[in-house]
Amino acid sequence: MQTEQATVRGAGRAGPVVLGVAGVVSLLLLWQLLGALDVVPRSSLPGPWSVLGALPTILSDQDFLAGALDSAAATGLTVLVGSLVAVAVGLVASSFAFLQRPTMVVVNTFRSVPATALIPIGVLIFGLGMQMKVSIALYAVVWPILINTIYGVATTEPMRRDVARSLRWGWWRQQALVTLPSALPSILTGVRVAVGIALVVVISTELLGARYGVGTVLVQYTQASRPEVVYAGVLLLGTAGALLFSALVRAERRLVRWVHHD
């Protein structure tokens, strides 16, 4: 790896940026070419310029902005509630030996039903509002966090647990000062995965009928056959998603570093 990296030394320190830009530009050219050669009809894949031109349209669309807020709120609420529930259940389940494996059986069984399949029943029970979005997304989000919590607890240094036990710490104290800090890196990974899943599921519910949200607005633009606006929206969502993930990774590293310093 190191020898290979030395060969790109010619590009210097600005290398990654230049090469990254070159990569994006080459893909844009390919995109333009696909349209120009009529490989994909314009009506389904508009050229890059018309998509970029549609960015102001979608950014000034009040429905889109309100929908984005709504989707973000649903995702945030889901991840928050889901993390609290899953971490609590995970800590309890892994504190008792007779609960560990049975819990994993339950988790693996229910995890196998993709949450998106449950959207029709969610609509019947909860209607088309926020409650439906959050409850369907919760179903999707709880399992990865729970699994990561259980794994995280299982990898706790046994010595630390022995110390806590010999100090005769109570259950709460042991969880808060020993188990939770050592499981934190694993839990945070689970939460990061959960954010992505929550976003996907929330947008799925919007495509299939929720009354407000980014997905609803994009479906409206599709039906109005304005594909360039749809693509612009997808680009925006991708950018937002990428920024969110890099922020999460950074926050995670900071928290985990703190754990290691402890």
Partner 1 sequence: MTSPTTPPLTPPLTPPLTPPLTRTRPGRATTALRRTAAGVGNLWLLALVLVLWEVYGRVSESLFVPPISRILENFGDVWLGGPASQLFLSDLFWSEVTTSLSRFARGWGLAVVVGIACGVVLGRSPVIAQMYGPVVRFFAAIPNTVLLPIAVQIFGVASNMNVFLIFLGSVWVVMINTADGVAGVDPMWLRSARSLRVPRWVLYARVIVPAAAPQILAGLRVSLGIGLILMVISELYATTEGLGFQIVVAQSSFRYLDMWSAFVLIGLIGIVLNLAFGRIETRLLRWQRRTGLDAL
CB of 70 to partner 1, least distance (A): 14
Structure token pair of residue 17: 């940026």
Instruction: Name which of 49 and 245 has its Cβ closer to partner 1.
Output: 245
Three-state SS string across 56-104, please? HHHHCCHHHHHHHHHHHHHHHHHHHHHHHHHHHHHHHHHHCHHHHHHHH
In the numeric block, which tokens belong to residue 31? Answer: 């995109």
Residue 108 engages partner 1 in binding (rule: CB under 8 A): yes
The full DSSP string for 216-250 is HHHHHHHHTT-HHHHHHHHHHHHHHHHHHHHHHHH
Among 22, 88, 167, 251, binds partner 1 (CB under 8 A): 22
* Residue number, 156 or 204, with CB nearest to partner 1: 204
Asked whether position 262 contacts partner 1 by CB under 8 A, the answer is no
Among 77, 85, 99, 128, binds partner 1 (CB under 8 A): 99
Q: Does position 222 bind partner 1 by CB under 8 A?
A: yes
Shortest Cβ distance from residue 254 to partner 1 (Å)?
20
Report the alpha-carbon angle 144-201-249, nearest 5.
55
Residue 204 within binding range of partner 1, rule CB under 8 A: yes
In whole angstroms, the minimum distance from the beta carbon of 152 to partner 1 comes to 17
The answer to the question of residue 103 lying near partner 1 (CB under 8 A) is yes
Distance of closest approach, residue 258 Cβ to partner 1, in angstroms = 25
- Gap between the Cα atoms of 119 and 142, Å rounded: 16
- Which CB sits closer to partner 1, 108 or 258? 108
| Candidate residues 12, 97, 159, 166; the one interacting with partner 1 per rule CB under 8 A | 97
- Scored b (16 or more CB within 10 A) or e, 12-50 reads eeeeeeeeeeeeeeeeeeebeeebeeeeeeeeebbbbee
233 CB-near residues (< 8 Å, 6+ apart)? 58, 64, 214, 217, 218, 221
CB nearer to partner 1: give 135 or 259: 135
Based on CB atoms, which residue is closest to partner 1, 2 or 262? 2
Stretch that binds partner 1, among 57-65, 80-88, 130-138, 196-204 (CB under 8 A): 196-204
Is residue 203 close enough to count as binding partner 1 by CB under 8 A? yes
CA dist 41 and 50 (Å) reads 14
- Using CB under 8 A as the binding rule, whether residue 89 contacts partner 1 is answered as no
# chain residues binding partner 1, by CB under 8 A: 73
Length of the chain: 262
| In the complex, least distance from residue 261 CB atom to partner 1, rounded to whole angstroms | 26
Asked if 24 interacts with partner 1 (CB under 8 A), we say yes
